[in-house]
Amino acid sequence: MRISVIGTGYLGATHAACMAELGFEVMGLDIDPAKIEALSQGVLPFHEPGLPELLRKHVATGRLRFTTSYEEVGAWADVHFIGVGTPQRAGEHAADLRFVHAAARSLAENISKDALIVGKSTVPVGTARSLVDVIRRHSDPSVRIGLAWNPEFLREGFAVQDTLAPDRIVFGVDDPADESVLRAVYARALENETPLIVTDFETAELVKVAANAFLATKISFINAFSEITETVGGDIRTLADAIGHDARIGRRFLNAGVGFGGGCLPKDIRALRARASELGLDQSMRFLAEVDQINLRRRDRVVHLAENMLGELAGKQVAILGVAFKPDSDDVRDSPALDVAVRLYNAGADVRVYDPKANHNAAGRFPRLDYVDSLEAACSGADLVVLLTEWREFRELTPEDLGPLTEGRRLIDARNVLDAEAWEAAGWQFVSLGSKYTPAREPVRSAAP
Ligand SMILES: NC(=O)C1=CN([C@@H]2O[C@H](COP(=O)(O)OP(=O)(O)OC[C@H]3O[C@@H](n4cnc5c(N)ncnc54)[C@H](O)[C@@H]3O)[C@@H](O)[C@H]2O)C=CC1
Ligand SMILES: O=C(O)[C@H]1O[C@H](OP(=O)(O)OP(=O)(O)OC[C@H]2O[C@@H](n3ccc(=O)[nH]c3=O)[C@H](O)[C@@H]2O)[C@H](O)[C@@H](O)[C@@H]1O
């Protein structure tokens, strides 16, 4: 079976390389010629652990190729996965579906043999059903083109393992013939007893956004408790451990800190609210507005803490450790860390940024920050160090590492990963969110709903 993957970003490039790893012949397609040029040389244009090795291996054997030509994939592949972006629309909460529509239409216009189109992008419910019509209108009537929705649940930083060994697989199908094709594609995972849910288009689309909405809610839940522990003097990590022991709750995704970001959770909860409103169900998803607000308040909190610690930001040197939205990724889309860094810069601080992998992407968005290529360069002479992305090299930091470098011996651990007692014992002014190591806060007053 020959597989094409349309859109070769974080999702598509991973999916293409993993499909090749499973033994399929694969062609990745993107409208960005620079990306295709790099991938064709076996060079991954972003950071994802384990993926460069798979890419190089399968490009070398010729099992994995890349193109910008829809005509080429349309004549060649039996199954076409769509993994193009669905970003937030400028100035709105809804998802921008232009790329999905364009990809479906280009495929329909160019597919010249019976084939199955499989949507992987995260889309508002109702999208797949609307694409059936797009495909019908733009395709050759003598060719049978099926459509299925197969949402993706991979996490950046673990993309290869999540793709090759997913927690579950979901097929949204309208025709049993399409289910059989998908079962053949995922035969390896199904042999390993990966749970499979076969359902309709609408449920499949909703499963994806429900999962992301739940994860976002879980993070904001613990961060809302952070606001309370900061006010009354409790400890958020202990609270999370204690409730996490209840198997019905679970400890994962209860790490309090500067909150969630990235190319998915924030835009997906906003798109879900927007879609619910379109359906006349504004109230059903209104709680996600609060989830979003709690999350964004964490960023304010870090900026305020920095102001409190330094008195005046203007002219102060601040070391920013991490700008990626999470460790093991170079992705800075809606990154809480980059947001905080930019706000400290705008308030007049002399901001020096070090991220092991994301400096380049951050500089593309905010060239004015001072990006440096080592921890030492970021921290030397700093009045304040702010740990914003918990890369391993930052999680393992000790006062002995930073002591000789910094002027101020002030540190904000905005990811709650360091041993507060050790830093205090070493004479640091240490602040971590949601603990007794956070100065008491003013109660948060939000506008009436
Ligand atoms: N990044 C992730 O970890 C995950 C992403 N998703 C979803 O997957 C989708 C893609 O996300 P990312 O890979 O992060 O985005 P991305 O922005 O990294 O990649 C999207 C790619 O699509 C290409 N593209 C746009 N229009 C095209 C067209 N008409 N034909 C061919 N290529 C086109 C772009 O040039 C870009 O390379 C989104 O819906 C996202 O919500 C789902 C699960 C995980
Ligand atoms: O739809 C998507 O694209 C993906 O979105 C998330 O994956 P990802 O964005 O790669 O990263 P996560 O590990 O979910 O982290 C998201 C954000 O939440 C933050 N987070 C995570 C966990 C936690 O306990 N606390 C917390 O603040 C992270 O720092 C990060 O900023 C989901 O976990 C994936 O299942 C989904 O496929």
Q: Which residues line ligand 1 (CB under 6 A)?
A: 6-12, 29-32, 35, 83-86, 99, 102-103, 121-122, 152, 154, 156, 263-264
Centre of ligand 1 to C-alpha 168, Å, is 21
SS3 182: helix
Other Cβ atoms within 10 Å of 247 Cβ, number: 7
In a domain, 208, yes or no: no
In a domain, 387, yes or no: yes
Tell me the per-residue pLDDT of 112-155, one tens digit each, with 9 for 90 and over: 999 999 999 999 999 999 999 999 999 999 999 999 999 999 99
Q: Please say which residue of 199, 220, 246 terminates a domain.
A: 199
> Do 251 and 152 fall into the same domain?
no
Tell me the per-residue pLDDT of 367-407, one tens digit each, with 9 for 90 and over: 999 999 999 999 999 999 999 999 999 999 999 999 898 87
Q: Please say which residue of 182, 199, 216 terminates a domain.
A: 199
> Do 250 and 185 fall into the same domain?
no
> Do 336 and 275 fall into the same domain?
yes
Question: Is 264 a known active-site residue?
Answer: yes
**Per-residue exposure over 76-99, b if at least 16 CB sit within 10 Å of its own CB, e if not:** bbbbbbbbbbbebbeeebbbbbeb
Dig out the tokens for 238 from the structure.
């202990």
Dig out the tokens for 77 from the structure.
């592949």
Q: Which ligand 1 atom lies nearest to the CA of residue 99? A: 26
> Is pLDDT above 90 for 438?
no
> Do 291 and 414 fall into the same domain?
yes
pLDDT > 70 in the chain, percent: 98
Residue 292's pLDDT is what? Answer: 98
> Do 178 and 247 fall into the same domain?
no
In a domain, 211, yes or no: no
**Alpha helices for 195-253 (secondary structure H):** 201-232, 236-244
Mean pLDDT of 304-311: 94
Between 447 and 171, name the one with better pLDDT.
171
> Do 278 and 383 fall into the same domain?
yes
Q: Which numbered ligand comes closest to the C-alpha of 157? A: 2
Q: Could you write out the DSSP letters of every residue in 26-80? A: EEEE-S-HHHHHHHHTT--SS--TTHHHHHHHHHHHTSEEEES-HHHHHHH-SEE
Mean pLDDT of 166-179: 97
In a domain, 217, yes or no: no
Q: Structural domain tally of the chain?
A: 2
Backbone angles phi, psi at 26, to 5 degrees: -130, 140
Mean pLDDT of 359-365: 98
Q: Please say which residue of 199, 221, 248 terminates a domain.
A: 199
Cα–Cα distance measured from residue 377 to residue 353, given in angstroms and rounded to the nearest whole number:
9
In a domain, 224, yes or no: no
Dig out the tokens for 393 from the structure.
């090299």
Mean model confidence pLDDT for the chain: 96
> Which of 84, 99, 155, 334 gets mutated to test ligand 1 (max ligand atoms within 8 A of its CB)?
84
ipTM summary value: 0.99
> Do 128 and 260 fall into the same domain?
no
Cα–Cα distance measured from residue 381 to residue 316, given in angstroms and rounded to the nearest whole number:
10
Q: How many angstroms from the chain centroid is the CA of residue 115?
A: 30
Amino acid at 330: D
Mean pLDDT of 195-204: 98
> Do 142 and 289 fall into the same domain?
no
Q: How many angstroms from the chain centroid is the CA of residue 403?
A: 33
In a domain, 223, yes or no: no
Tell me the per-residue pLDDT of 311-328, one tens digit each, with 9 for 90 and over: 999 999 999 999 999 999
> Do 247 and 182 fall into the same domain?
no
Residue 279's pLDDT is what? Answer: 98
Q: Would you say 283 and 449 are in contact if contact means Cβ atoms under 8 Å apart?
A: no
> Do 35 and 119 fall into the same domain?
yes
Question: pTM of this prediction?
Answer: 0.96
Residue 436's pLDDT is what? Answer: 74
> Do 179 and 312 fall into the same domain?
no
In order of 28, 322, 374, 387, 433, the CA distances from 393 in angstroms are 34, 10, 11, 11, 20
Looking at residue 278, which CATH number applies to its domain?
A: 3.40.50.720
> Which of 29, 30, 120 gets mutated to test ligand 1 (max ligand atoms within 8 A of its CB)?
30
> Which of 122, 212, 255, 326 gets mutated to test ligand 2 (max ligand atoms within 8 A of its CB)?
326
**Alpha helices for 62-200 (secondary structure H):** 70-76, 98-110, 127-138, 159-164, 176-185, 187-191
Cα–Cα distance measured from residue 443 to residue 448, given in angstroms and rounded to the nearest whole number:
15
> Is pLDDT above 90 for 48?
yes
Q: HSE-up of 351 (CA within 13 Å, CB side)?
A: 29
262 lines ligand 2 (CB under 6 A): yes
Q: Would you say 261 and 342 are in contact if contact means Cβ atoms under 8 Å apart?
A: no
Centre of ligand 2 to C-alpha 216, Å, is 8
Q: Which domain holds residue 304?
A: 234-449
> Which one of the listed residues 104, 264, 338, 417 is annotated catalytic?
264
Residue 449's pLDDT is what? Answer: 44
In a domain, 219, yes or no: no
In a domain, 282, yes or no: yes
> Do 307 and 397 fall into the same domain?
yes
